[in-house]
A and B are shown apart, each in its own frame.
Chain A
Amino acid sequence: MVQSFTISSPTIELFGMMYCVVKMSETPKRIERALRLTTTCLKMNPANYTTWHFRRSCLAAITAEQRITARITEQKDAKLLESLGFDGTTSENSGANTTNTNANTIPKLLVKYDAKLVETDLEMAANLGGPNPKNYQVWYHRRALMEPFLQSLSTETYILPHDLTRATTLINSELGYIQSVLAVDAKNYHAWSNRQWLLRTASQLFQSQQKEKLHRSLWEE
């Protein structure tokens, strides 16, 4: 066969398993298991872009399932409160997580990847990034995790304080991470590239926020 690589058999087995999981036509029921499989495969070859893409599909599927579960829980909570005599708009459930269809409440932002998953995956990417600081796919993964959230915020007419805090934390944290990579190698091209993308996105976000503040202050006059 043209161009075989000398790789050990556990690696071949794992790639085989990964391959089987990938070939399933529906979303794997055991998404968590599939996710762990990608972790192992990525440790062996962090440059396989299909593995990364499949991993993001798993993260998106987990997030979607969490959302469904959360909505069911909220609906159950709302029904319980009603049955106990509360009308569902009291301070008990006026937090940001409510999906109460009352016209005065603000709908929750639909995120592609759950915040906690993004946090843990950024950590995972950082662990892989250490020994592979110039790996295109690792850097792209960081961006792919944050971009949907940050971009959706810059198109929102009103951003919940909770989401704004999250965005700010995320951006600052990423700037810190990039700084740590540059401390090791100040010429890392990917680090600078990622930093530019991040600053551009952050700038768009805060500009639209300022416009929103201006609009609201004008409206309230």
Chain B
Amino acid sequence: NKSVCGCGSVIHDCFLPDRCSPSKFAPTRFLRSAHIKFFTNCLSNLPAGYTSLDTNRLTLVHFCVQSLDLLGALDDDALGKNGDENTSNFIDKSNIIDWIYSLYDEDLGGFCGGAYLGNTRNYQERHAVGSQGNNHVHEYRHVHIAMTFTALATLAALKDDFKRLTNPHHIIVTLRKMQRSNGSYGAVYPPNASDSESDLRFVYCACAISTFLSNWDGIDVDLATKYVHSCGTSFDGGIGLVPGQESHGGSTFCGVASLKLMGMMGEDGNEEWKSDLIRWCSQRQVLLTNEDYNPSGGMQGRPNKLQDTCYSYWIGGSLLLLDSFDVLDHDALQSYVMSCQNEKMGGFSKVHGAMPDVLHSFYSLCYLSISQEEGSNLHAMKVNKMECALNVRSDKMKYFDVLRDS
């Protein structure tokens, strides 16, 4: 049986907490080496519980690579391979870069999430793969907006020179075609290859891609801004995934980050929506629980839901982008996130006591990265600084400069 975190991450039953055995030994120190081992292992192999993410492999690689980058495990440039001497795990950066480019479709303008439909034509042509069967270009070939976003982000983290991104302009052309008449974005292009839902997640991806490529011709910014605001729920101040839907931590981040990246946060004095939103976000910190074995201080995604580490980033990050980071109790929140570390395997789980998974591990690190200057830093953690709205290490953003005039 599976359950899914509101952020869309699939978690097998075995990952859920065993409520019969509360742990009194919640780790409070930052387990850097264990985390490096966790992400390095996940990069090469994942258990069958992740099968449902087969179409999204690029996002999983992004989570792992960015996490390693935040942990400082990609810093040593010797021999093009990287890792941590203490764990003796090595990450073959050039292998990962090759794999990412194997998913690049220049004609369609973007990346696919995995090779589950065969390799792209670019890959086949460049690697002279046999002409029988494999080279067949079929109607289900497509690119996915979230995969394009994560591909670009990961390539920058790996210090790629983007020489193999042979037509970045075409990515923007495709982006333009993916915007709906109400300003939202769908996920897949071309539309006949697969229909898809359209919502704020993909608006955010479009904004991130445009930022990376320094080209905003792919977005009608006014229309997209209208759409973001139409997802705002007037009575409680939060932002839902589509217009009319309940306010949710994930969509709130997507909306806020999109506005920030588009430069549409509005310093025009019409700030009422902002203060309502800040209040909604601040109310998501769970400061009391009725459970003896569960620490409090974590963030919930919606009212009356459980604490969940990924919302420490979705909502914490939103507050940071709204210049109101200090409304949260970061000592309590950091303690909660730290208590979700897994001493044996590394990584972070969604809730205290559960098994770690890639998504929650990554977003926990993202939160720790943006919050390490807050609170008392009782846990003496050191995580590299990340661009809050983009999930890329700040000092890796310069690798996008080469794409500036495309």
Interface residues, chain A, with chain B CB atoms under 8 Å away: 1-8, 11, 15, 19, 22-25, 44-50, 52-54, 56, 131-136, 140, 144, 187, 189, 192-193, 196
Contacts and interface: CB of A to CB of B under 8 A. Distances in A.
A85 B136 CA distance: 55
Given A2-B96, A131-B1, A53 B48 contact: no
A53 B193 contact: yes
A23 B52 contact: no
Contacts of A132: 2, 4, 52
B48 A5 contact: yes
B246 interface: yes
A23 B305 CA distance: 44
Contacts of A46: 52
A193 B251 CA distance: 13
A3 B55 contact: no
B51 A5 contact: yes
Contacts of A56: 195
Nearest to B1: A131
Contact of A23 (B44, B96, B136, B195): B136
A47 B188 contact: no
Contact of A48 (B116, B244, B246): B116
A187 B302 contact: yes
A144 B54 CA distance: 22
Contacts of B6: 134, 189
B336 to A, nearest CB: 21
A2 B302 contact: no
Interface of B: 1-4, 6, 8, 10, 42-48, 50-55, 57, 60-61, 64, 95-96, 99, 116-118, 133, 136, 138-140, 142, 188, 193-197, 241-242, 244-246, 248, 302, 304-305
A50 B138 CA distance: 12
Q: Which of A23, A131, A187, A192 has the most CB of B within 10 A?
A: A23
B65 to A, nearest CB: 10
A131 B2 contact: yes
Contacts of B133: 23
Nearest to A56: B195
Taking each of A3, A5, A56, A140, which has the highest tally of chain B beta carbons within 10 Å of its own beta carbon?
A: A3
Given A23-B118, A53-B193, A187 B305 contact: yes
A19 B197 contact: no
A1 B188 CA distance: 25
B140 A47 contact: no
Contact of B51 (A22, A45, A52): A45
Contact of A193 (B2, B10, B45, B245): B245
Given A3-B64, A6-B46, A24-B138, 4 more contacts: A5-B51, A47-B53, A53-B193, A136-B197
A6 B138 contact: no
A140 B195 CA distance: 9
29 contacts: A2-B43, A2-B61, A2-B96, A5-B46, A5-B47, A5-B48, A5-B51, A5-B54, A6-B45, A8-B48, A11-B51, A15-B116, A19-B118, A22-B117, A23-B117, A23-B118, A45-B52, A47-B52, A47-B54, A49-B55, A50-B116, A52-B194, A53-B140, A56-B195, A131-B1, A131-B2, A134-B8, A140-B197, A196-B245
B118 A47 contact: no
For the complex of A and B, 8 pairs with smallest distance between CB atoms = A134-B4, A47-B52, A53-B194, A2-B99, A23-B138, A6-B48, A23-B136, A196-B244
Contact of A3 (B3, B45, B139): B45
B195 A53 contact: yes
Contacts of A49: 55, 188, 194, 196
